[in-house]
Amino acid sequence: MRSIVRRKFERYAGILIYLCGSFGSSVAQQNIEQPETVMVTLRAKPGAEADLERVLARHWNTAHEMKLVSDKPHITLRGVEDGNKTYFVEIFTWRDSGVPDAAPDEIRKIWSDMNRLVEARGGHPGLEFVPVSVMVR
SS3 137: coil
**Alpha-carbon distance 81 to 58, whole Å?**
24
* Per-residue confidence (pLDDT) for residue 6, from 0 to 100: 47
- DSSP for 53-110 reads HHHHHHHHHHHHHTT-EEEEEEEEEEEEETTTEEEEEEEEEESSTTTGGG--HHHHHH
pLDDT tens, 63-99?
999 999 999 899 999 999 988 999 999 999 999 999 9
DSSP 45: P
**Alpha-carbon distance 89 to 73, whole Å?**
13
Contact assessment for residue 82 and residue 44, using Cβ atoms and an 8 Å cutoff: no
For the beta carbon of residue 76, count every other beta carbon within 10 angstroms: 16
**Alpha-carbon distance 87 to 45, whole Å?**
9
pLDDT tens, 14-54?
443 444 444 444 444 455 689 999 999 999 999 999 999 99
Q: Identify the H or E element spanning 40.
A: strand 36-43
Higher pLDDT, 23 or 126: 126
* Per-residue confidence (pLDDT) for residue 32, from 0 to 100: 65
Q: Which residues contact 61 (CB under 8 A, 6 or more apart)?
A: none
